[in-house]
Amino acid sequence: MGKTINIQGTLLDLSTPRVMGIVNITPDSFFSGSRKQSVTEIVNRCGQIIDEGGTIIDIGAQSTTPSSHFLTAAEEAERLMPALRTIRNEFPHTILSVDTFHADVAKQSVEEYGVNIINDISGGEIDPRMFAVMGELNVPYILMHMRGVPQTMQQFTDYDNFIQDIWYYFSEKKAMLNMLGVNDVIIDPGFGFSKTLEQNYELMAYLKYFHIFDEPILVGISRKSMIYKLIGSSPEESLNGTSVLHTVALLSGASFLRVHDVKEAVECVKIVDKLAGFDK
């Protein structure tokens, strides 16, 4: 594919897909193994992501499960900024992504701690200032598909035409971002957000067609309910299913995997990349 994104003036090559490791500084993430709140836990987790081959650390202070409590921008910043300070001190050259839908949090993260990517699950819907702020910040923006908010998203799974509706959403929002000067947009189809189990698998089956947007694609399916509900297990027992879907996503052209289990995702990338070498 040969796609790149601009990270503070340096082009990040995406010809080999990149793994983004999740750091949840929340007490209520759906996967208990990802919750890191003490300074030591956060530093150890970031070190693990880097040691296991992760390129990007994605840090979030707001859980996005349907049962989660909505943090204000001030509450989120109070939880997030000390963690960013610690990570930047310990890992000054690592690419950092912040998972937030608050424009003020995005702005502070980039301007004070040199955060490299903003990951917004709401596509600018929760905070209407987000797109304008992204136009000022000059960092890549992860544009995800969701309807409603995390607490209500599963009430919004009725679509006129499921795949086409999502394509329209991305085409409209990508055009808005480009008009504001946001040149590096990463498309996240939003697995698990405002989608039934059946729709999640339909989305995966059509993932290869999302290249019509000519933007890198990020897939976040790590240990999600679309896996453990289908196979009758739990988030803790869903690593094997996660690796299967990571492989499918990579074969469909995903440029980023957002994951809890970095080592296993990196292995998926290496194996699929090896196979791709014989198909050129």
Instruction: Name the pLDDT band for 2 (thresholds 50, 70, 90).
Output: very low
Q: Using the predicted structure, report yes or no on whether residue 34 has a pLDDT greater than 70.
A: no
Rounded CA separation 100/105 (Å)? 7
pLDDT at 38: 82
Q: Using the predicted structure, report yes or no on whether residue 164 has a pLDDT greater than 90.
A: yes
Give the residue, 130 or 8, on which the prediction is more confident.
130
Instruction: Just list the catalytic residues.
Output: 224, 258
Name the most confidently modeled range: 31-35, 38-42, 70-74. Answer: 70-74
- Across the range 8-26, mean pLDDT stands at 94
Instruction: Name the pLDDT band for 191 (thresholds 50, 70, 90).
Output: very high
Rounded CA separation 68/138 (Å)? 30
Instruction: Characterise 22 by phi-psi region: left (phi > 0), alpha (psi -120 to 50), beta (else).
Output: beta
Q: In CATH, what class is 16-276?
A: alpha beta
pLDDT tens, residue by residue, 119-150: 999 999 999 999 999 999 999 999 999 997 77
Instruction: Name the pLDDT band for 280 (thresholds 50, 70, 90).
Output: low
CB atoms within 10 A of CB 115: 27
99 secondary structure, DSSP code: E
- Across the range 263-267, mean pLDDT stands at 98
- Across the range 65-78, mean pLDDT stands at 84
Name residue 246's amino acid.
H
Q: Using the predicted structure, report yes or no on whether residue 30 has a pLDDT greater than 50.
A: no
Q: Write down the mean pLDDT value for the chain.
A: 92
Rounded CA separation 17/218 (Å)? 10
Q: Using the predicted structure, report yes or no on whether residue 67 has a pLDDT greater than 90.
A: no
pLDDT at 37: 66
pLDDT at 172: 97
